[in-house]
Structure formats: C-alpha cells, structure tokens
Structure 1
Amino acid sequence: MRFIPALLVAIVPSIVTAFPNTPLKTSGQFIVNSSGANVTYVGVNWPGAGEVMIPEGLQYQSISSIVSKIKSLGMNVVRLTFAIEMIDDIKSGGDVTLQKAFQKGLGSNGDKVYQQVLKNNPQFTASTTRLEVYDAIAAELAKQDIYVHLDNHMSKGKWCCSTNDGNTWFGDTDFNVNNWKRGLQYMADHSKKWPNMASIGLRNELRKPDNAGKSLAYNWAVWYDQIKAAADTVNAANPNILIFLSGLDYDTKLTPIPGGEDLGSGKKFQLSNFSYKDKLVLELHNYQNSASKCSDIEGPLWDNGFSATWPTAVNKMPVVLTEFGFSNADKSYSGVYATCIRKLMPQWKTGWMVWAVGGSYYTRGGTQDYEETWGLLNHQWSDWRNKDAISALKGMVSDTLKSVK
C-alpha cells in the first residue's frame, strides 16, 4: 500500500468537502454539492421584504453578530427574503440609499432608525444602498460557511400575507407578472458574485385573491405556465442555482406534483419537460396548529407534497419545509406540533427553515418596532427569546444532519 503522509490525509477531506462546493444540484430526493456530498438544508428565515426592503434587525445588532448567532445553532442556510419593488426601483431610477429607504418605510422615525443601523454596522455609509446590504449579508454568511437561499416574498414591499394584499396571485393589483420575472432574473444574475448563493424561491405563498377579477384564473394549469416561465428565466440568468417551486393555498399544497397528475387544460408537471430538472426543488409551508396528535400533521404534510421524496413518486424531488414555526414566548416548543415537526424532518431526511430569526420588525402592519414573539431572538436581537426552545431546535439540527449521513 502506498504511504500517504498524515498531513496530506488530514488536508484532503477538507478540500473535498470545502464550503461552499457550489453549484448544488438534486439527486432524487436529495440535494448534493459539487463533490457529491449531501447538503440537507437546516436553517432559518431572515425577513427583508417589508416596507423598508432591508433585512430586519440591523438597528439592534451588527450583521456579523446576527450571523454568528445563526451559526451557533449549527445551521447551514438562511432564507433571505426580498421584494420585487426593490428591483423595480433599481430599473426605474436606481437603488435608493439606506437613509431614503428608512425615511420612506418609517416616515418621521426613519432617520433615527437609520442612525441606529449605522452605529451597529459602521461599514455602511450615506451612499450605501439596499442591495449593498444584501451583498454584505451574503458576504458574512459566506465567511461563516452558510448558504444563501433568496426568496421572492412579495412584489410590493410590505408584510405578507393575506388574500387582499394585492400580492396574492399572478396579475393581482401589485403582482405584475412581467416585473416579477424581471426581478427574479435580476437577482439571479446579481447574486452570481456571491460564492454561497445556492438557491432561489420563485414566489412565497401563492394564494387565491379576494378579488379574483384582477388576476389570472386560480388553478394549477395557470400555476404551471407561470412557474415554468419564471423558472426558465431564472435558469437562463444563472444556471448554477437551485430553483424552489412553491404550491397553492399559502404554499401548503403541491398535491398534483409528486404523482404527475392532470393539472387541467391537458397539462402535467413532468421533470422531463425541464432541461434543468436536476435544479428543481419543491417547498412547502406549515405552521403551529391545534392538532392533538402527530398523525394529524404527518398525513396531510405527506399527502400535500412530501410524497415527492418517496421512491415511487413520478416526480421524485427534494422537498424542503421552507417555513414552519410557533410562538417562542411560551412552551409551544414542547407541544404536539413542534415535537412532531422535530420528529418528521429527520424521519423523512428532509431540509427545513424555521420562521424566523429575529424578535422584531422595523414595521409590520402599520406598527413600528413590532414585536415578533415567534422569533428565535428577543426584541433587541441580542439573545435567544427562549433558551429551552433553542436547545430543542439545536437538537433538530443535529438529528436532521445525522439522518442523512
């Protein structure tokens, strides 16, 4: 047997598994990196699609501090949300500075919060733009070996989601389809310079509008046409990133996709119709509910989309739970819902991203400095809101990663 120096033995594995080993691709139910190693997402949502259109919490903490807290949980991905309105602004006259963004989003209180952001993040200046903040966050995430998953959360920058917010479905009041595709294309192209840019979600929580007359028909055939066109656009702009496809009814249903069932108008979802079929991932959302036993959660989740991970699925694909959550202000972490989700994700060997990292928003629903009791961090983003819940979450990270080794 040829002798291999001990030093080389120690070095080789680190080279083979070096972060970020992009681009990622899919292999059956799994996501793998460029070395063929499994990359199962375990992460958190970092909202940035509100009225200010800047990722939350920077008035309380530095980017590096927030990312370090995420890293301390053992997480490997952040779902970073953005609004198409930001790209519309860039296309119409250029991105706006942080100061203008806070003035527009918070009114008379904007300058005060802006100054707080600069105090905590002195790398920013009067000329720093919103998109440059995304660049800075992506860079810090890369520094700490965490992937970026971009998510188009809204068209109009504001809190999501309701059936009358103008962002529900293709053609709704604020959901200009052409601008949406243009925005996805822009972000897919712009993020090429982020080495840890791994994936993008085409649209968050598609849902039936109250005023259906303004939008296209709410059905699976329209979903297929619009989603495929958007996916084609993104893949052409950046063929190296995964593309996440969300379902109907607030992204709680992908029922006809795993089995390749009829979508209407003679359409069927078939992976073979996509030249980039190894770049497609399904995503679902699920939130705390009143279920009294785990089977009441497990059955619907499986039937609504996770069955795509089963060996006999017509369209066998990874499925990631990109949003789930519960209150961190009480003992919900030990309830049926949270306990069940912590069991199912490792059992199904599938990825997830909890909602959400921060304990407050710049503004939400007209209330500034809004308290987010579902956030992992406290109001000031300085410490965990509920350390027992965090301990359970760290266990979920570990159990999920162990399940796919």
Structure 2
Amino acid sequence: MKSFFLSALTSLAAIPFLQTSAFPNAPFVTSQRWIHDSTGENFTYAGVNWPGAGEVMIPEGLQYQSIASIVSKIKSLKMNVVRLTFAIEMIDDIKDNGGDVTVQRAFVKALGSTNGEKVFQQVIKNNPTISTSTTRLQVFDAIAAELQKQQIYVHLDNHMSKGAWCCSGNDGNAWFGDRYFDTAKWKRGVAFMAEHGKAWPNLISIGLRNEYRKPDSAGSSLPYNWATWYTHNMELATAVNAANPALLIFLSGLDYDTKLTPIPGAQDLGNGQRFRLTDFRYANKLVLELHNYQNDAGSCGDIEGGLWDNGFRATYNTNDIVNKMPVVLTEFGFSQTGSEHTRPYATCIRTLMQKWQTGWTVWVLSGSYYIRSGTQDYEESWGLLNHQWTDWRSAGAIDALKGMVEVSLKG
C-alpha cells in the first residue's frame, strides 16, 4: 500500500497542470490601494523606463547591445517590470502612410543617410534577427518576447505623439489638440497598441499619456483643465478596456504628471464632472500614476507632503478618500555620475516607496540615445547604464537601487 501511494504522488507531481503559480499570472486587477495578480497575490511595480519614443521610434541601445543582453542587465537587478515608451507617430504610419517603417529606414530618416546606415549596421550586428525588412513594431514585439522569456512584465506608455524627446510646453505634444497632439489619432493609437499587446503574455498595463502639461500660446485651443482631462482620458480608457480587457490602465495627471489632486476625493472637475470609480465597469483596472523630480529638495519633508497631497493619498483608507486606488511613481530619477544617490531626494524616494508600499519605475535605463534634441549618440548622465550599455554607470547608485527593489518586492 505504501508503494502504491508513493507511486501515485510521484505521478501527480509530474502533471504540469497541477501547478498553481506560473509567470505571468495575468491578468492583474486592483482592490482599493492594492494590485493583485491572477492568484490573488499582491504585486508591486519595481522597474525601469526603457525609452522608445524618440525620433527613431524603437527602444534605445540596440546599436551597442543585443536585446537579450539589455534585458539580462535589468533581470540582474531583480526588477519585475519595464515601462516601455512609444510614440503615436508609429501607429499613424501604420494606419495612414502605407504601413510601418522598417528599422533601417527609421534610422536613415532620423540620423541621415550616412549615420543612419552606420547605426543600423551596428544594430543588426548585435541583433541578427533584425533585418532590412524588420519594422519598428516588430522590434517592440522582440523586446516583449525577451522580457517574457526572462519573466519581466511590460507596462506600455504613450510618451509622445510625434517621436521626439519629451517634454516641454512648446514641443507640440503638450495637450489635447496641440500641434502634434491629434486627439482622435491618440485614442486610435493607444487602443491599437492595447489590442496589439494581446500577443504579449507579459503585458499587464498601459499608460494613456505621459506628462500632460500646459501648452504655450501656439499650442492647443482646448482648455487646460480637469474637465478636458476627464472627458478625453475616460473616453480612451473605455476604448482601451474594450480593446484589451486584461490590461490595467494608468491615468497620469496635470503639470507634467505631478498633480492628481482632485481625483482621490472625487472633487469637482468642472462642468459638474467628478471622477468616481463606481462610474466605470472596469473600476478594478484603473491605476493612478505620478512623477517626481524634486532633485534640489533639502529634506524629505519637502517631497513627502506634496506627493501625498497630489495623489498618493488615494492609497489611504479614510472616509474623505472616495476613490481608493493604487498609485505608482512611474518616473523619478537623478544623475548617476556623482553621489546623487546619497542626497535627500534619492534617499527620500526610497524611504517613501517603502513606507507607502507602492510601486515605481526609475528614469532611466538608457546610457545614451540614438538622437536627442538634435544631438546624435547623446550621452545620458541619468542613465543606469554607461554610454555603450555595457555596465552600470555608478556602482553605488546601483547598490542602492538593488536595495530598493528588494524592499519593494518583499512588500
């Protein structure tokens, strides 16, 4: 009898469908301040931004390293998510201009015929699966696949409409109806990426727009206010949920995504509108996101009060908080070239993320950019990686970041 039971247990252990937990454990949902995976476990975002919304409109760094090598570096930090940015212009080409642009053509267009071809040859040397026929979106597919292979989640972020460096009030991407910010094409583009992302098992969330900001006098004619924000964001959120019901949907605020002040308490947004989770059948898919770059802060108190009042109080369970929601700090960062990681700003962000048990993605992975603000092969001193993407820029800063990841994942 004993041998029979041992044999039965051995057979059962070999049946794979009996496993109760396997990456990616999607889709994710929210429950008040928490994010849960499909097993009901809490999930805390602990990751990094990988830009892909510049003029070339593919994720940075491939002229220096392979996709697998870059992802392995992220994995070595034990991060669990990448905020992968994209530009609406890429989808406009697909929909309106005869199809997606090849990687080769994208480099030539952004860098010129000589430099563009040179950088493209470096890219295909490091990444042999990329060819003259590979398109930009196919590179995003390849990166998502490698992240899936190494068990890292993807959070897509619509960073810009026109592919370029972000952000300013006069870049034409600031607000609905701005020079390059075609609202209808924005909605179409984000919904397209949500739909396309169904093929990525590790895609768990999407940010509707990065850093709304007041445009200059040559910009949008639409009012820069919460009523406009509400109308267009919630129309798109509904469309995204219809396109891909599995995704969490991140809502960013005004003033470079530093303010979501009226959202937690469902305050009047104007025109009688109020944001109430109960108005949306996909309420358990909505997440707030904020950014913070108070690098010159003299103390943690200078940062904490503002972050809390501007949105993080949505995580607090009191009667005045109508919309109890998760809040993720999707951008913060500082120079990696000195001792900034020991200064009040950096230490405060680490402390607050632990104290509030909330998620984050640091800006930025890139040691350099294909092109930024007209400068090719631009050096990024804030990059976790060095210029050639071969190693970390600052061992001290990386050690501190590893500690932050460890604490977040324990939480």
Preserved contact between residue 247 and residue 283 of structure 1 (Cα < 8 Å) = yes
Q: For the residues of structure 2 that align with 1:349 and 1:112, how far apart are their CA atoms?
A: 46
Q: Is the 8 A contact 2:83 2:154 kept in 1?
A: yes
**Conserved? CA contact 1:258–1:315, under 8 Å:** yes
Taking the aligned partners of 1:7 and 1:120, their CA distance within structure 2 comes to 44
1:244 aligns with 2:250: yes
Partner residue, 1:375? 383
Paired amino acid for 1:34? S
Larger gyration radius, structure 1 or structure 2: 2
Partner of 2:109: 104
Paired with 1:30 and 1:7, the residues of 2 have a C-alpha distance of 38
* Mapped contact 1:17–1:37 kept (Cα < 8 A): no
CA contact (8 A) 1:288 1:325 kept: no
CA contact (8 A) 1:169 1:215 kept: no
Task: Kindly provide the amino acid, as one letter, of the partner of residue 386 in structure 1.
Answer: S
Pairing 1:3-402 to 2, within 5 Å after superposition: 5=9, 15-92=19-96, 93-108=98-113, 109-211=115-217, 214-312=220-318, 313-402=321-410
Tell me by how many angstroms 1:388 deviates.
0.8
Shift of 1:125: 1.1
Letter in 2 for 1:113: V
Alpha-carbon distance in structure 2 between the residues aligned to 1:275 and 1:301: 28
Q: Which range moved further: 140-149 or 285-294?
A: 285-294
Give yes or no for contact 2:176–2:220 (8 Å, CA) kept in 1.
no
Deviation at 1:215, TM superposition (A): 3.0
Gaps of 5+ in 1: none
Q: Give the partner amino acid of 2:110.
A: G
Q: TM-score if structure 1 supplies the norm length?
A: 0.96
Q: Deviations over 1:141-193 (max 9, x none)?
A: 00000111000000000000000000000000000000000001110111100
- Deviating beyond 4 angstroms after TM superposition, the runs of 4 or more aligned structure 1 residues are 2-14
**Cα shift at 1:358:** 1.4
Q: Amino acid of the residue matched to residue 112 of structure 2?
A: G
Displacement of 1:7 in angstroms is 9.2
Identity over aligned residues, as a percent? 69
Distance 1:161 1:366 in 2: 14
Listed as ranges, the gaps of 5+ residues in structure 2 are none
SS of 1:16 mapped into structure 2: coil
Q: 2 CA distance for matches of 1:141 and 1:73? A: 14
Instruction: Supply the AA of the counterpart residue of 1:174.
Output: Y
Deviation at 1:212, TM superposition (A): 6.1
For each residue in 1:297-319, what CA deviation from the matched residue of structure 2 results, as whole angstroms up to 9, or x when unmatched? 11100011000000122100000
> What is the number of residues matched between the two proteins?
402
Q: CA deviation at 1:19?
A: 0.6
Give the conservation status (yes or no) of the 8 Å contact 2:175–2:220: no
Q: Is the 1:46–1:55 contact (alpha carbons within 8 Å) kept by the matching residues of 2? A: yes
1:322–1:13 Cα change, 3 Å: farther
Q: Quick check: 1:288–1:326 contact (8 Å CA) kept in 2?
A: no
Paired residues of 2:367 and 2:387 also in contact (CA < 8 A): yes
